[in-house]
Amino acid sequence: MSYPPNNYSQYPQAPPPQGYYSSQPYPPASYPAAAYPPHTGASPPPSAGGAPGYLPQHQSPPQQFQQQPQQPPYQQPPYAPPQNQHYPPPQQYQHHHHQQQQQQPYQQAPYRPTGNGVTPPPLPASQYPPAAQGQGHYPPQPSAYGAPPGSGYGHAPAAPVPMPPSLGYDPDQRAPGDASKEADALRNAMKGWGTDEAALINVLAKPDPLQMALIRHTYTERIGRNLEKDIRSETSGDLETTLVSLATGPLGQDIAYLRDALSGIGTDEVAITDVLLGRSNADVRAIKYAYVGKYSKALVDDIRSDLSGKTEKFFVMLLNAVRPERATYFDQASVDHDVRELHLATQAKTGTDEVGVSAVFLGASDAKLVAISQAFEAKYHTSLENVVRKEFTGHLEKALLTLLKRAQDPFKFDVDTMLSVVPIDKSPDMKRLIYWVVRLHWNPPYLLQIKNALTQRTGSDFGRRLRAAIPPGDVQNAVMKVWT
């Protein structure tokens, strides 16, 4: 490979995976809000009239509420980066256009730690903001395993600043440099008789999202062929799934996983939840635009045709991508109002108002959802999680619990997910296993934290458990190359 190994030893704390909300404020100066697709907003800005849930702009937010964990903290030691293992400094990828005349050597681009209805038509490429303005990053990582994100109420800004798309979610963005060596190696591995699977794995397993975008672009420009189509024609089964997930980048991986979940007989509801829940508005929009661009059908239409009832309504609401950004201001009055609404929609009546509960969950930022959960338990002496489990069943129950648990502790949620994806006592769902391993690998510092947490949880190297779950062969080699 033509890029040097990563070195994260001089920077603090790794970021979480792409597109998730976090409690730490995103620095507004690092990207221009106006450059992003229009944000419709999930709630009105603070008004002078003091509408419920908001204070006038000239007032200060109340200080009486301090978020505490809804339940006792998870009884494991706090997880933090290994000693001497830290983050890279903020550096910006430069956006290289097709007309670029000079290319620099293809190098490992540093990871930068930062911010997570009716489907509109895909945006023209020109409407995506250029990478040089700081778009396409990892959101910041919660400080410790087991600590709920959010530190209280957000401040009332003049206008909420939307999060940018995560790294790899702008289809026009790619790393600088020259990937001709990688493009040639991929073509040589697939032309003629037979396929050199080991060569494909070696080239595809380690590039970051923007480097992979450069490789795809170079392959098309230099070879005159489509990399994804060539891989699909030369491989099959789980190896095809793994290599295509790598080659298409995190955005391509998401839409392919969704398409597979919504195709054929039956619906993979777990896959839909894995991809769409807990994502930033910008990433949900990117997923919608990429989906309709590739498959010529709106994602919301496929959701409507495969889901039904209140679950369908929940995901249609989610795909509007107007959930409040993480720094959106809220006050105690709005929390109390939502707590009453949840009680009236569940325990206070016969039956359950599923749409009403969904509206509260999707109308709250992660920090506010945590505050609602704490206030609900304090007032009604039962946890919001228990109420959801009692009042809901099936896919909608799992979706609501996923939103709540991701809001409370996204890192612990991902650790728990990996433990369920690689069970000890039964064969894994290989598609889901591949999805999660590849998804986590797009952010190497965060993957390292996940692996360390899994080692502490299981008392052994989780990689051995992962290897044992996959039959020996090319698929095992590919997955383990990505994991390590």
CATH number at residue 205: 1.10.220.10
Other Cβ atoms closer than 10 A to 350: 4
Calculate mean pLDDT across residues 267-283: 97
Domain boundary among 197, 219, 248: 248
- Alpha-carbon torsion, ordered 200, 202, 204, 206, to 10 deg: 170
Residue 11 lies in a domain: no
Residue 236 lies in a domain: yes
Number of separate domains in the chain: 2
Residue 336 lies in a domain: no
Model confidence at 327, pLDDT cuts 50, 70, 90, reads confident
CATH number at residue 438: 1.10.220
pLDDT value of position 19? 52
pLDDT digits (tens, 9 = 90+) for 66-95: 333 343 333 333 333 344 433 333 333 333
Which residues lie below 8 Å from residue 29, measured CB to CB, with a gap of 6+?
Answer: none
Domain boundary among 193, 214, 248: 248
Q: Using alpha carbons, select from 112, 216, 111, 237 the residue that is nearest to residue 172.
A: 216
Q: How far is CA 126 from CA 71, 92, 252, 253, 279, in A?
A: 47, 19, 20, 23, 24
pLDDT value of position 113? 36
Task: Select the more confidently predicted residue: 48 or 204.
Answer: 204
Residue 32 lies in a domain: no
Distance of CA 89 to the CA centre of its chain: 21
Give the global pTM.
Answer: 0.72
Cα atoms found within 13 Å of the Cα of residue 267, Cβ hemisphere only: 15
pLDDT digits (tens, 9 = 90+) for 135-183: 344 444 443 344 344 444 545 555 567 889 999 999 999 999 999 999 9
pLDDT digits (tens, 9 = 90+) for 115-127: 333 334 444 433 3
Q: Using alpha carbons, select from 121, 159, 120, 114 the residue that is nearest to residue 135.
A: 114
Domain of 224 in residue numbering reads as 165-248
- Alpha-carbon torsion, ordered 117, 120, 125, 129, to 10 deg: -40
Calculate mean pLDDT across residues 330-344: 96
Residue 231 lies in a domain: yes
pLDDT value of position 147? 39
Amino acid at 38: P
Domain boundary among 230, 248, 266: 248
Residue 347 lies in a domain: no
pLDDT value of position 155? 52
pLDDT value of position 159? 59
pLDDT digits (tens, 9 = 90+) for 249-266: 999 999 999 999 999 888
Please, what is the average pLDDT of the chain?
Answer: 78
Is pLDDT above 90 for 64?
no
pLDDT digits (tens, 9 = 90+) for 416-472: 999 999 999 899 999 999 999 999 999 999 999 999 999 999 999 999 999 999 999
pLDDT value of position 156? 55
Residue 7 lies in a domain: no
Burial classification of residue 349, based on how many CB atoms lie within 10 Å of its CB (0-12 exposed, 13-18 middle, 19 or more buried): exposed
Distance of CA 205 to the CA centre of its chain: 19
Is pLDDT above 60 for 289?
yes
Residue 460 lies in a domain: yes
205-229 CB burial, b ≥16 within 10 A, e <16: bbbbbbbbbbbbbbbeeebebebbe
166 forms beta bridges with 137
Instruction: Give the C-alpha separation, 96 to 109, whole Å.
Output: 14
